[in-house]
Amino acid sequence: MRLNALSCVALPTCGLALAESERALPEILEKFELVLDEAGLHDDAISLRVTGCPNGCARPYLAEIGLVGKAPHKYALYLGAKYNGTRLNRLVSPSITIDDAVKLLTPIIKRYAVERKDGEGFGDFCDREIIPRTRRFIASGR
């Protein structure tokens, strides 16, 4: 994940930034790496991209896990892009803290570790298993 991660510069360089990105990336990666280690996925190439605002200079909408700054300490969470960039991800949470995003993703990453099909990327797994359920949940109005 660390080798694949991207962020935009955001604060303090970019005047359009709504949240931290480049400066927060090392800490964000450490939190996700703990989960990956627990799931036995330390060496899996899952793409994570973070930006400080929706302009998306680090292409967060093509990440398997995309975090887009909305306000100080708050990010929109996107999941399900294809690793090779041929499918965009989908909005899963419009505003979430990094800690809550890690909490939300922990059981999903652990499920991915045991339920993935041969050669299935994390984005593919989310597109198959998580996005449809999220949409049904939203459509149900609960």
The residue (of 21 and 47) whose beta carbon lies closer to ligand SF4 is: 21
Residues in the chain: 142
Q: Please tell me the distance from the alpha carbon of residue 115 to that of residue 101, in angstroms, as a whole number.
A: 21
**Which residues, in sequence order, are CB contacts of 63 under 8 Å at separation 6+?**
6, 47, 48, 49, 78, 81, 89, 123
> Does the footprint of ligand SF4 cover residue 5 (CB under 6 A)?
no
Q: Which one of residues 5, 17, 35, 96 is an interface residue with ligand SF4 (CB under 6 A)?
A: 17
> Does the footprint of ligand SF4 cover residue 52 (CB under 6 A)?
yes
Torsion sign, CA atoms 92, 95, 96, 98: positive
Q: Which one of residues 4, 29, 33, 55 is an interface residue with ligand SF4 (CB under 6 A)?
A: 55
Contact call for residues 59 and 46 (beta carbons, < 8 A) = no
Q: Which one of residues 29, 57, 88, 104 is an interface residue with ligand SF4 (CB under 6 A)?
A: 57
Q: Please tell me the distance from the alpha carbon of residue 103 to that of residue 106, in angstroms, as a whole number.
A: 5
Contacting range for ligand SF4; rule: CB under 6 A; set: 3-11, 100-108, 115-123, 129-137: 3-11
The residue (of 57 and 88) whose beta carbon lies closer to ligand SF4 is: 57
Q: Where does this chain bind ligand SF4 (CB under 6 A)?
A: 8-10, 14, 16-17, 21, 51-53, 55-57
